[in-house]
Chain A
Amino acid sequence: MKLGDAGSQTTLGANDELSLWAPARQSGDLIADLLRDQADLTAVERFSQYHDGSPLPAHGRYYSALIPAAAPGPGQQYGFEVDLDRCSGCKACVAGCHSLNGLDENEAWRDVGMLIGGTFSLPVIQHVTSACHHCVDPACLNACPVDAYEKDPITGIVRHLDDQCFGCQYCTLACPYDVPKFHAGKGIVRKCDMCGDRLAAGEAPACVQACPHEAISITIIDVADIKARAEAGEFLAGAPSPSITQPSTVFLSRRSSVDDDLRPADEDRLKPEHAHTPLVAMLVLTQLSVGGFLVDLIARLKTGHTITGLGALSLAIGFLGLGASLLHLGRPLYAYRAILGIRHSWLSREVAAFGLFIHAAMAYVAANLLLDRPMLTLGLLVATVLAGLVGVGTSMMVYHVVKRPFWAAEIGGTKFYFTTLILGFAASLVCLGITGAPVAMVVPAALALMLVTGAKLVFEAKLQAISLKSQIEPLNKSARLLDGVLKRVAGRRLSLGIVGGIIVPLFVAVGAIGADRGAMVAASVLVLPLTIAAELCERWLFFTAVVKSKMPGGY
């Protein structure tokens, strides 16, 4: 029922039972009157004393002492200063920032975490408010492939350029403090800008204005001091090391208890991370593509012949993989910007390397098909493989540089290059099987696949066993996740790996040796989907089982 209809409808119904208690005519009118009254907004006309607008912020009286009077000088920047003794955990700063900055419902630029610890006789809880640390060496800025971050040369504020961002979310992985947040609705990342324009106008940032206890202030700090503190490891108990990005926030406490024996309240929380499915597909498929060309090159060098169809298959899957990466972007239309950050961003470098790779691969496949120039095609194949292997290396570095132990090069690199080999051999086996290649080609490919699969599974099992006992907290947590909520997928990954990479290839080899062509073809066709599925599982776990670095959280 619409609001405006209420009166007539209620009058209509009024005759039935109402006459007992009250005259129907009036009742209908009363309801309509009350509904009409309800829709009238009266505050403005009735209480108008605030209408004489004053241009100056009245709130200045409370915060003027909490912000610097002048801009930072050379070698200085702004920084948040948090007096932990004054932070009571009310979290008004988060809500105030939200309202005064017009953030969307599900957004927050500031967060309040908790540290707990102390002794049996003197327990300690300490709330910790924090936002962006406007670092001297910002990991977000370094990681960004489109240069959507800039560090203001005067204030030191690390500002995100919303219109420049194309939503790759790499900064959300790179920031050790988990500050930039992806806004799925807008397809970009947004984050705290220290209310830079408020400061420029002599106003305090929203959080400083909102804190009832004056726990947050803005100070001018010497960059040299920030660096010295970062080097000395002075920041906050339970927070990531300041040495990575040199954060400018200073946490103060006069309480002797706020020291290193405090632990984040969410330290024991085990929660899988976002799977980033398009990236899972992109990594596995580009690695398959590179592996396909690599095995093609090996065949060419060993036998003088490439494997029929392998180049084309690898190219097609390479395209699929790169296409998948676009699905990851919040604003894929701006994908062309991805190369802008090549001087500092491993993501830009990955884009460049795979760009080279796919162009070389196209040239090679075309040349192989159209030209009878063996040396040229070999040259193009070598170039393709080299570009591809570099590409896989850049993928490894993309994850290595964000400093999550589970993504370190020795783990990520091993996984990525083994995937390259496994899927390369698996793809070659399909091509060999379908085209009825000789036993001498099929059996070595099958054996190679079994070997590399076995090696990778052993590596993963050993890593898991070591991590379960590891003192490195994030690595240990990853292992516990794999042993806990992610156990089913981990089990599936293992069985798919064994079946697709070892058992079925064994059938292919046996079929080839036994000249059972039907069995060989059938088995070889199965190999690729099974191994791809196995590697997709592995890569899904690579993303979900990682433990991110962040500020202490609450429970």
Chain B
Amino acid sequence: MTLANDGQSLFDRAIQLIRAKDGKLTRELLREPGGFGLGQVPANKTPDSVTSMVCGFCSTGCGLTVHLREGSAVNLSPTTIYPVNRGMACPKGWEALSVLDAPDRATVPLLRSPDGNRVPIDWNKAMTTMVTRIKEIQAVHGPDSVAFLSTGQIATEEMALLGSLAKFGMGIVHGDGNTRQCMASAVVAYKQSFGFDAPPYTYHDLEESDCIVLIGANPCIAHPVLWERVTSNPHSPEIIVIDPRRTETAMAATMHLPVKPKSDLALLYGFAHLIIKNGGVDHEFIKAHTNGFEEFAEFVKDYTPKRVAAETGLHIADICETACRIQQGKRVSFWWTMGVNQSHQGVKTAQAAINLALMTGNIGRPGTGANSITGQCNAMGSRLFSNTTNLLGGRDFTKAIDRTKVAGILNIPEERIPDRGSWAYDQIIDGIRAGKIKALWVIATNPAHSWIGQNQLRETLGQLEFLVVQDMYHSTETAQMADLLLPAAGWGEKEGTLINSERRIGLIKKVRRAPGQALADFSIFKLVAHYYGVGEMFAEWSSPEAVFQILKRLSAGQPCDFSGIENYQTLDNAGGMQWPFPAEGADTATERRLFADGKFFHADGRAKFLFEEPRPLPEIPGGRYRFQLLTGRGSAAQWHTQTRTSKSDVLRKLYPRDPLVEINPADAKQLAIKAGNWVVVESKRGRLKVRAVVTPTVPPGHLFIPMHDASTNRLTDPVFDRESRQPAYKSCAVSLRRAANDEVIDPTQAEFSTLKGSRS
């Protein structure tokens, strides 16, 4: 080094002390080209390889490109070329990795000791304890005294293994999934109308419609990437939103119909009435492909605009105008989510939408369909393969032919397959209360937060002799009540496939090491099988991909046939593949819809018109409880019971700081409630204290509370759709008052007794 250089660098350093335009802090935020088609990325997270997998939050099923260093994920960005999301993701997807690092991850099995504390144990003791207790209980009370609650949040291969192990291996009869809480009404509606649980659409239909009818759906917040499809629709579509609240989606609509809660059924019948009357019916399609239209037409004769206006609270002119726009549409699509499904008459409401699509011939063509937007990332996998309500592959436990078929495919004795269906979720809970269910195994779901009528549910779980919870986190409301907690690896820490709303099967991959001794749910099920002594039965189920091959065999010949998908690599190369994809003659287009040929899945190939008189609200507001409570998603940054989304600083920044209730300004004024005040909302079942948000977007006499706070379900009323057994979360009667200074709420109320577990 020369003297001059030395002088130069000293001079530079002196200057740097005064004026530092570069340095360590500046370099921390440096960006550089990331390669792999990524563009610039943070320099300290430049990947050495990338891989693509599907998101594990909602059913949209976005592709995420995971940035890897030495095989481990350091960052992610939405996959540019994935056909679902085309380079976009909602905040949950962007933050999918950061929730894996939470300090409350379950890292070792925890067993509740006699003094009530949770003690870390090893896997051997955990498995021995679990199997011993379950066998003891089964020996005393019968094999069906043990039940399981599965989930829409794990891979299809895992839920198939769970369902098969539980029912064929352990003799369990009753098992259901948390998908009961979001999808059951759509499932039943499709099964009855189409002959199979088959959402007919592809997301591309959102771009091809000239009239989009959204019923009880707020995709702006709940499915932002689907809303992207609406915003890129080149046909300036009519957007008709049926929702009691003026949501973001309603704001963006060309027509918003703020119906009274649960009067959507009458409204849809009213549309049918008007369309029939005005000659908008596609008689040719009806004649060729459906049954029951005549009866339906007769039935909706009573649904005059006048009657519908009275029942929905809408103006007659708006009802007629909307029916007219639907009738004028060339490619009309009907979309619904939880506003329809989570109802005391969800099945019939979904079918009312299906009826409209059928009678106007809006099905099987681009931009049409009666389309249920699913909730969870693998609700669709659960519907086909969780082996709970349906026998594997969308079959029927009560049909001998189906049992024989499955026994043959799996090479197990036919008598291992129960010949009766499972109780639904609420019936299992009732079973616990009645002392018929003594042990419960809960996997990747959080009923102590999410189940309707929470105080009662928690009390019921407390009656169990043995509660096993399998979860990523030891801190969920349910995990804290567990006698035995099994630490599970999460999304990103294991392999498998998920099926999204448009029937697209996508891959999840192992890009992070699970913390401590957490194991993939798949591995935990393998362990249970082994310790239970039925390991041999599942010898072929050696890995998720081996199970995928079994699932292919189970799907063959069913409407959901995907036996033509060779393996995981094929799925990965294709960017996910929709079912059906049979081994012979599969249509290989990237985005496909069902029923182009007008052939439905009933034996006669015809769809059915199904209908029923609307029933009154189970709990009509009045007297002390004069407000009608609506619940639903709070923000795009929140997911269900928040076990994951509350673990990201970024997501926490993006959702409300305090639990809240939205109140119409007129009601707030009358009760002297100001925005930001703490208020007490109370139903016959419980009460909670939340902050008031005063907003005209909820109608007078109504309140809205997001479902994400654990206290919300203290209020809800455990009533169910009669056909789908889905809980009616969306509506119950409550009271509202300003909270006294520093008022502390006793969540439990008088009739509620002590909980098992530490949560108060």
Given contacts A38-B489, A92-B89, contact A163 B128 (CB under 8 A): no
Counting CB contacts under 8 A, is B90 at the interface?
yes
Binds B, one of A112-120, A229-237, A288-296, A357-365: A112-120
Counting CB contacts under 8 A, is B260 at the interface?
no
Q: List 26 A-B contacts (CB under 8 A).
A: A6-B123, A10-B123, A14-B124, A21-B531, A26-B530, A31-B122, A31-B123, A38-B523, A41-B511, A44-B49, A46-B569, A47-B52, A88-B220, A88-B227, A88-B249, A98-B650, A99-B75, A99-B77, A100-B41, A102-B75, A123-B697, A125-B246, A162-B28, A163-B23, A214-B231, A268-B676
Cα A412 to Cα B630 in complex, Å, equals: 48
Q: Considering only CB atoms, which chain B residue lies closest to A41 in the complex? A: B71
Decide if A88 touches B51 in the complex (CB within 8 Å): no
Counting CB contacts under 8 A, is B553 at the interface?
no
Decide if A43 touches B510 in the complex (CB within 8 Å): yes
Q: Considering only CB atoms, which chain A residue lies closest to B535 in the complex? A: A22
Given contacts A1-B108, A161-B20, contact A90 B44 (CB under 8 A): no
Which bracket fits the contact residues of B? 35 or more
Decide if B569 touches A268 in the complex (CB within 8 Å): no
Counting CB contacts under 8 A, is A94 at the interface?
yes
Hey, which chain B residues are within 8 Å of A227, CB to CB?
A: none
Counting CB contacts under 8 A, is A147 at the interface?
yes
Cα A39 to Cα B518 in complex, Å, equals: 10
Contact of A127 among B248, B512, B697 (CB under 8 A): B248
Counting CB contacts under 8 A, is A465 at the interface?
no
Given contacts A22-B530, A42-B509, A91-B635, contact A50 B693 (CB under 8 A): no
Hey, which chain B residues are within 8 Å of A190, CB to CB?
A: 29
4 tightest Cβ-Cβ pairs between the two chains A and B: A102-B42, A57-B39, A163-B23, A123-B696
Counting CB contacts under 8 A, is B98 at the interface?
yes
- Chain A 265-284 interface mask (CB, 8 Å, partner B; 1/0): 10111100000000000000
Q: Considering only CB atoms, which chain B residue lies closest to A214 in the complex? A: B231
Query: Considering residues B22, B25, B78, B535, which has the most beta carbons from chain A within 10 angstroms of its beta carbon?
Result: B25
Within the complex, what minimum Cβ distance (angstroms) separates B337 from chain A?
16
Decide if A94 touches B131 in the complex (CB within 8 Å): no
- Chain B 562-598 interface mask (CB, 8 Å, partner A; 1/0): 0000001100110000000000000000000000000
Within the complex, what minimum Cβ distance (angstroms) separates A180 from chain B?
14
Decide if A55 touches B517 in the complex (CB within 8 Å): no
Decide if B511 touches A50 in the complex (CB within 8 Å): no
Given contacts A31-B527, A210-B94, contact A18 B76 (CB under 8 A): no
Counting CB contacts under 8 A, is A72 at the interface?
no
Q: Considering only CB atoms, which chain A residue lies closest to B43 in the complex? A: A102
Cα A17 to Cα B121 in complex, Å, equals: 14
Counting CB contacts under 8 A, is B310 at the interface?
no
Hey, which chain B residues are within 8 Å of A22, CB to CB?
A: 530-531, 533, 535
Question: Across the A-B interface, how many residue pairs have beta carbons closer than 8 Å?
Answer: 324
Hey, which chain B residues are within 8 Å of A51, CB to CB?
A: 49
Counting CB contacts under 8 A, is A68 at the interface?
no
Within 8 A of B (CB), among A114-152: 116-120, 123-127, 147
Using CB atoms and an 8 Å cutoff, list the residues of chain B in contact with chain A: 18-26, 28-29, 31, 33, 35-45, 49-53, 65-66, 68, 71-72, 75-78, 80-81, 85-91, 94-95, 98, 108, 120, 122-125, 127-128, 131-132, 135, 220-221, 224-225, 227-228, 231, 246-249, 251-252, 489, 493-495, 507, 509-514, 516-520, 523, 526-527, 530-533, 535, 568-569, 572-573, 635-637, 648-651, 653-654, 656-657, 660, 666, 674-676, 691, 693-697
Decide if B31 touches A53 in the complex (CB within 8 Å): no
- Chain A 28-67 interface mask (CB, 8 Å, partner B; 1/0): 1011001101111111111111110111111111100000
Given contacts A92-B90, A123-B697, A198-B40, contact A17 B246 (CB under 8 A): no
Counting CB contacts under 8 A, is A337 at the interface?
yes
Hey, which chain B residues are within 8 Å of A375, CB to CB?
A: none
Within 8 A of B (CB), among A292-318: none
Counting CB contacts under 8 A, is A212 at the interface?
yes
Decide if A188 touches B37 in the complex (CB within 8 Å): no
Decide if B122 touches A13 in the complex (CB within 8 Å): yes
Q: Considering only CB atoms, which chain A residue lies closest to B695 in the complex? A: A116
Using CB atoms and an 8 Å cutoff, list the residues of chain A in contact with chain B: 1, 3, 6, 9-11, 13-14, 16-18, 20-22, 26-28, 30-31, 34-35, 37-51, 53-62, 85-86, 88-92, 94-96, 98-103, 105-106, 108, 112, 116-120, 123-127, 147, 161-165, 186, 188, 190, 195, 197-198, 201, 203, 209-214, 265, 267-270, 337, 340, 554-555
Decide if B40 touches A92 in the complex (CB within 8 Å): no
Hey, which chain A residues are within 8 Å of B495, CB to CB?
A: 42
Hey, which chain A residues are within 8 Å of B18, CB to CB?
A: 337, 340
Decide if A100 touches B42 in the complex (CB within 8 Å): yes
Hey, which chain A residues are within 8 Å of B535, CB to CB?
A: 22
Given contacts A1-B122, A101-B31, A162-B29, contact A212 B224 (CB under 8 A): yes
Decide if A210 touches B517 in the complex (CB within 8 Å): no
Contact of A125 among B65, B135, B248 (CB under 8 A): B248
Decide if A213 touches B231 in the complex (CB within 8 Å): yes
Decide if A92 touches B696 in the complex (CB within 8 Å): no
Hey, which chain B residues are within 8 Å of A98, CB to CB?
A: 94, 650
Given contacts A92-B90, A102-B29, contact A30 B513 (CB under 8 A): no
Within the complex, what minimum Cβ distance (angstroms) separates A211 from chain B?
8
Decide if A108 touches B650 in the complex (CB within 8 Å): yes
Contact of B37 among A54, A127, A165 (CB under 8 A): A54
Decide if B122 touches A10 in the complex (CB within 8 Å): yes
Contact of B568 among A46, A163, A340 (CB under 8 A): A46
Decide if B519 touches A50 in the complex (CB within 8 Å): no
Q: Considering only CB atoms, which chain A residue lies closest to B699 in the complex? A: A123
Decide if B533 touches A21 in the complex (CB within 8 Å): yes
Cα A212 to Cα B88 in complex, Å, equals: 5
Q: Considering only CB atoms, which chain B residue lies closest to A58 in the complex? A: B37
Hey, which chain A residues are within 8 Å of B494, CB to CB?
A: 38
Q: Considering only CB atoms, which chain A residue lies closest to B222 in the complex? A: A90
Decide if A50 touches B91 in the complex (CB within 8 Å): no
Hey, which chain A residues are within 8 Å of B650, CB to CB?
A: 94-95, 98, 105, 108
Decide if B636 touches A27 in the complex (CB within 8 Å): no
Hey, which chain A residues are within 8 Å of B49, CB to CB?
A: 44, 48, 50-51
Given contacts A55-B35, A102-B45, contact A9 B122 (CB under 8 A): yes
Hey, which chain A residues are within 8 Å of B22, CB to CB?
A: 163
Given contacts A6-B123, A267-B675, contact A95 B128 (CB under 8 A): no
Contact of A41 among B135, B513, B666 (CB under 8 A): B513
Decide if A3 touches B517 in the complex (CB within 8 Å): yes
Contact of A43 among B23, B66, B90 (CB under 8 A): B66
Q: Considering only CB atoms, which chain A residue lies closest to B493 in the complex? A: A38
Decide if A89 touches B636 in the complex (CB within 8 Å): yes
Decide if B228 touches A213 in the complex (CB within 8 Å): yes
Q: Considering only CB atoms, which chain B residue lies closest to A108 in the complex? A: B653
Decide if B81 touches A95 in the complex (CB within 8 Å): no
Given contacts A21-B531, A31-B123, A99-B76, contact A89 B220 (CB under 8 A): yes
Hey, which chain A residues are within 8 Å of B526, CB to CB?
A: 30, 34
Q: Considering only CB atoms, which chain A residue lies closest to B494 in the complex? A: A38
Given contacts A59-B80, A125-B697, A162-B29, contact A44 B251 (CB under 8 A): no
Within the complex, what minimum Cβ distance (angstroms) separates A109 from chain B?
10
Within the complex, what minimum Cβ distance (angstroms) separates B656 from chain A?
5
Cα A100 to Cα B40 in complex, Å, equals: 8
Cα A95 to Cα B652 in complex, Å, equals: 11
Contact of A95 among B41, B228, B513, B654 (CB under 8 A): B654
Contact of A164 among B19, B44, B90, B514 (CB under 8 A): B19
Cα A9 to Cα B108 in complex, Å, equals: 13
Given contacts A43-B71, A162-B29, contact A54 B123 (CB under 8 A): no
Decide if B637 touches A62 in the complex (CB within 8 Å): no
Contact of A163 among B26, B66, B68, B654 (CB under 8 A): B26
Within the complex, what minimum Cβ distance (angstroms) separates A301 from chain B?
43
Known: A57-B37, A92-B224, A95-B89. 16 other contacts (CB 8 A): A34-B523, A34-B526, A38-B523, A55-B35, A90-B221, A90-B636, A117-B696, A123-B695, A125-B697, A163-B21, A163-B23, A163-B25, A197-B40, A213-B227, A270-B676, A555-B675
